[in-house]
Amino acid sequence: MKIIISPAKKMNIETDSFGISGIPEFIENTKILMHEIQSMTLAETQSLWKCSDKLAELNYRRFQDMDLEGALTPAVMSYEGLQYQHMAPRVFTELQLSYLAEHLRILSGFYGVLKPFDGVTPYRLEMQAGLSVGEYRNLYEFWGKRLYLSLLDEDRTMINLASREYSKCVEAYLTEEDRFITVEFGELTEGKVRQKGTLAKMARGEMVRFLAENHICRPEEMRGFHVLGFSYCEELSSQRKYVFIK
């Protein structure tokens, strides 16, 4: 069973507290993207990232000085978004960290697929960014089927805690043999489930924590999740979607 999550825009560098386990699987593809962005002007990168002048200058400099093999931070410790704050991997036990290493995968526009303790450097490149590379019109075409294939294991089960921006690069290649379960967190309004971005990010992080703390290896066991006021709703759920209502 693999659990997939999205990355976060904000990243840090922490090389002392936790060691890395290796280099990302698709590092050669990452180098191609790095060189492509390094060849762009500051104005072009700001247009690509759609961010403020300050953030554009920071990330432009990061790419110009980028070293993909030195002063690296474990991926799961590097991202600082709400999801990662609520996951709080820095206070996990060794057993819980081992669970993450085996089951958790982070999808990335820049790195493709990351294991939790793969070494990464701060970058900015969302999967939906309008970056064309050679014959590829965007990052979905650039990465193609390889992210999906990287996630497959013996039971072909994937728990989707990623945003639509990232999950669709896997969903496009699913077969009847795969079990792909999307987890949805929301509020019931007029008979419809409404997801709120901030709360959903928090809940996704809490769910990863719940899975690791309870060493869950069967999707059905996820239904016991009761955090932030959410509870599993059997009536709105299906084999392909688990819905938690607040």
Please state the rounded mean pLDDT for residues 20-31: 96
With b for 16 or more beta-carbon neighbours within 10 A and e for fewer, the 173-204 pattern comes to: eeeeebebbbbbbbeeeeeebeeeeebbbbbb
- Per-residue model confidence (pLDDT) at position 31: 98
Structure letter (DSSP) for residue 221: G
What percent of the chain has a predicted confidence (pLDDT) above 90? 91
Structure letter (DSSP) for residue 24: -
* pLDDT tens readout for residues 173-190: 999 999 999 999 999 887
Model confidence band, residue 141 (pLDDT cutoffs 50, 70, 90) = very high
- Per-residue model confidence (pLDDT) at position 226: 95
Range of the domain at 221: 2-245
Sign for the pseudo-dihedral over CA of 223, 214, 219, 209: positive
- Per-residue model confidence (pLDDT) at position 188: 85
* pLDDT tens readout for residues 50-63: 999 999 999 999 99
Contacts of 156 (CB under 8 A, 6+ apart): 177, 178, 179
Number of domains in the chain: 1
- Per-residue model confidence (pLDDT) at position 225: 97
* pLDDT tens readout for residues 39-88: 999 999 999 999 999 999 999 999 999 999 988 999 999 999 999 999 99
Contacts of 171 (CB under 8 A, 6+ apart): 160, 180
Is the model's pLDDT at 208 over the cut of 80? yes
Relative orientation angle of helices 27-38 and 53-64, to the nearest 10 degrees: 120
- Per-residue model confidence (pLDDT) at position 17: 74
CA-nearest of 119, 110, 27 to 70 is: 119
- Per-residue model confidence (pLDDT) at position 241: 96
Is the model's pLDDT at 19 over the cut of 90? no
- Per-residue model confidence (pLDDT) at position 102: 97
Please tell me the distance from the alpha carbon of residue 229 to that of residue 246, in angstroms, as a whole number: 5
- Per-residue model confidence (pLDDT) at position 196: 85
Q: What is the pTM of this model?
A: 0.95
Place of tokens 């890395």: 20
Please tell me the distance from the alpha carbon of residue 242 to that of residue 238, in angstroms, as a whole number: 6
- Per-residue model confidence (pLDDT) at position 62: 96
Is the model's pLDDT at 228 over the cut of 80? yes
Is the model's pLDDT at 16 over the cut of 80? no
The mean predicted confidence, pLDDT, of the chain is: 95
* pLDDT tens readout for residues 95-138: 999 999 999 999 999 999 999 999 999 999 999 999 999 999 99
Place of tokens 């410790």: 77
Structure letter (DSSP) for residue 171: H
Please tell me the distance from the alpha carbon of residue 167 to that of residue 193, in angstroms, as a whole number: 19
